[in-house]
């Protein structure tokens, strides 16, 4: 398999897999138990909490383990129902784990405004200012978009938020290992991460909360996670996430350089035989190694099927919307017409790729797009 869909998920790092296997077979105590095997499990959980905190410049007590980015986003948005001010600002290319939750919560009294993005998928700061009203309690913006990779100006938004006593949440699920993540520098109040996006296991993530004592639990039950997330901790997956975060942070410069080289190799090669390719989203302020490209007059679902026959895995947008043969809402929000929208593929490179694999991808695309 030639895998070029790392924005959907990543293969588990061998060291992470080895650690998880070891913990599964040797450390089986409940972290809430006071006897030695339980405390050994608790030690594993707290070590992972420190590793993740270190990777984003947070304090360990600011890290809440969840099942992933979707739950983390939900916890922040449901928490807004308890705020006296009940208006949230987001944008129209957010992940469904934000937009659909906001729609669901509207009948419960949480109002929201979705601001537009430009043709590069970037919000306007003026539109943020215009959307603020006396009831605004939160601005929720994806740090980098999962389909096009465009990076939002979170730090500028933070300046506006502070002036208006508004909290800021950022879904940064796509970012670990692909850009520096420093919650002190970003200034955000909440940040969501998911382990399977940076070579960790699926089903585990975190919510960073600047002031966790002010939060409330989305899942009610026991007092785990400082009373902020009930349920017995998934010790092996938590340990795996901690190590994955440590490895991603340690190798970030090397990884970013590799992704940029793959991206340049792919773009340069593609344009030699298909000069009509349209690269969507910002080509400057974006995540490395994520390329959203339209192939005019070629349907994306047919291209995907043909590439799958030669063992190439790519997507036509968000994995959470895979199987939908309809225009991407993200590209539509950017003003891209349906015929171009439906000809779009997303390529996202990662640690498992090599220059030779990029060449194979280009050769297969050439045979499909320019048959003799």
Give the CATH number, domain containing residue 336: 3.90.1150.10
The last residue of a domain, from among 221, 250, 279: 250
3-state secondary structure 15-55: HHHHHHHHHHHHCCCCCCCCCHHHHHHHHHHHHHHHHHHHH
Domain identity same for 117 and 208? yes
105 confidence band (pLDDT: 50, 70, 90): very high
pLDDT at 52: 98
Domain identity same for 146 and 292? no
What letters, b where the CB count within 10 A reaches 16 and e where it falls short, cover 277-308? beebbbeeebbbbbbbbbbeebebeebbebbe
Domain identity same for 356 and 281? yes
Query: Per-residue pLDDT averaged across 138-144, rounded?
Result: 98
pLDDT at 371: 74
Domain identity same for 296 and 192? no
Query: Per-residue pLDDT averaged across 108-133, rounded?
Result: 97
51 confidence band (pLDDT: 50, 70, 90): very high
Domain count for the chain, please give it.
2
Query: Per-residue pLDDT averaged across 344-363, rounded?
Result: 97
Q: What is the pTM of this model?
A: 0.95
Q: DSSP letters of 162-190?
A: HHTT-EEEEE-TTTBTTB---HHHH--SE
For residue 322, is pLDDT > 60?
Answer: no
Q: Return contacts of 294-301, CB within 8 angstroms, 24+ apart.
A: 294/336, 294/340, 294/341, 294/343, 294/344, 294/345, 295/343, 295/344, 295/345, 295/369, 296/339, 296/340, 296/343, 297/343, 298/343, 298/369, 299/342, 299/343, 300/342, 300/343, 300/344, 300/345, 301/325
Domain identity same for 235 and 267? no
C-alpha atoms less than 13 angstroms from C-alpha of 52 in its C-beta half-sphere: 33
Cα 77–chain centre separation:
17
What letters, b where the CB count within 10 A reaches 16 and e where it falls short, cover 116-143? ebeeebbbeeeebeebbeeebbbbbbbb
Share of the chain above pLDDT 70, in %: 98
Q: Which of 81, 250, 305, 320 is catalytic?
A: 320
Domain identity same for 199 and 159? yes
Contacts of 95 (CB under 8 A, 6+ apart): 69, 73, 142, 146, 171, 173, 318, 320
320 is catalytic: yes
Contact 207, 66 (CB under 8 A): yes
323 confidence band (pLDDT: 50, 70, 90): low
Query: Per-residue pLDDT averaged across 80-89, rounded?
Result: 96
The last residue of a domain, from among 183, 218, 250: 250
For residue 321, is pLDDT > 80?
Answer: no
Out of 42-51, 130-139, 176-185, 318-327, least confident range: 318-327
Domain identity same for 224 and 278? no
Domain identity same for 243 and 256? no
CA distance 155 to 161: 10
Task: Provide the mean pLDDT of the chain.
Answer: 95
Query: Per-residue pLDDT averaged across 19-43, rounded?
Result: 94
Domain identity same for 314 and 294? yes
Query: Per-residue pLDDT averaged across 83-89, rounded?
Result: 96
Share of the chain above pLDDT 90, in %: 94
Domain identity same for 325 and 234? no
For residue 319, is pLDDT > 60?
Answer: no
Domain identity same for 246 and 282? no
Q: What is the pLDDT of residues 194-229, one digit of tens each?
A: 999 999 999 999 999 999 988 989 999 998 999 999
pLDDT at 320: 52
List for the chain the helix, strand, coil content (%; round to 5): 45, 15, 40
Contact 153, 122 (CB under 8 A): yes
Domain enclosing residue 321, as ranges:
2-9+252-369
Side by side, the strands of the sheet bearing 344-348 are: 278-279, 290-294, 344-348
316 confidence band (pLDDT: 50, 70, 90): confident
Out of 139-143, 191-195, 228-232, 325-329, least confident range: 325-329
The last residue of a domain, from among 227, 250, 273: 250
Q: What is the pLDDT of residues 236-273, one digit of tens each?
A: 999 999 999 999 999 999 999 999 999 999 999 999 99
pLDDT at 299: 95
List the CATH number of the domain containing 138: 3.40.640.10
Domain identity same for 36 and 157? yes
């Amino acid at each position: 398999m030639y895998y070029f869909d790392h924005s959907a998920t990543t293969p588990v790092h061998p060291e992470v897999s080895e650690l998880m296997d070891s913990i599964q077979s040797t450390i089986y105590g409940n972290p809430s138990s006071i006897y030695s095997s339980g405390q050994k499990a608790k030690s594993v959980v707290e070590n992972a909490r420190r590793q993740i905190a270190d990777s984003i410049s947070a304090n360990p007590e600011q890290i809440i383990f969840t099942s992933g980015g979707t739950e983390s986003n939900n916890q922040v948005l449901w928490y807004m129902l308890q705020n006296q001010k009940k208006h949230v600002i987001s944008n129209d290319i957010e992940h469904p784990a934000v937009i659909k939750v906001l729609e669901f919560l509207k009948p419960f009294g949480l109002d929201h405004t979705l601001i537009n993005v430009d043709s590069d998928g970037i919000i306007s700061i003026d539109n943020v200012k215009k959307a603020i009203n006396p009831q605004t309690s939160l601005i929720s913006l994806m740090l980098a978009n999962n389909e096009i990779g465009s990076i939002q100006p979170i730090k500028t938004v933070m300046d506006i938020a502070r002036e208006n006593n508004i909290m800021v949440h950022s879904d940064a699920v796509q970012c670990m290992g692909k850009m520096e993540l420093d919650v002190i520098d970003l200034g955000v109040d909440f940040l969501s991460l998911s382990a399977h996006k940076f070579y960790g296991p699926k089903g585990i993530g975190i919510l960073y909360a600047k002031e966790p004592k002010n939060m409330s639990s989305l899942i009610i039950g026991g007092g785990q996670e400082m009373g902020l997330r009930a349920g017995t901790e998934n010790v092996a997956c938590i340990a795996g996430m901690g190590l994955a975060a440590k490895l991603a942070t340690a190798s970030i410069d090397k990884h970013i350089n590799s992704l940029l080289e793959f991206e340049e190799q792919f773009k340069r090669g593609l344009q030699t035989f298909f000069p009509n390719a349209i690269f969507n989203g910002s080509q400057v302020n974006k995540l490395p190694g994520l390329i959203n490209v339209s192939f005019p007059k070629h349907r994306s679902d047919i291209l995907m099927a043909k590439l799958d026959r030669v063992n190439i895995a790519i997507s036509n947008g968000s994995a959470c919307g895979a199987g939908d043969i309809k225009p991407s809402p993200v590209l539509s929000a950017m003003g891209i017409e349906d015929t171009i929208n439906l000809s779009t593929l997303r390529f996202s490179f990662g640690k498992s790729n090599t220059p030779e694999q990029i060449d194979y991808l280009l050769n297969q695309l050439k045979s499909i797009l320019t048959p003799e």
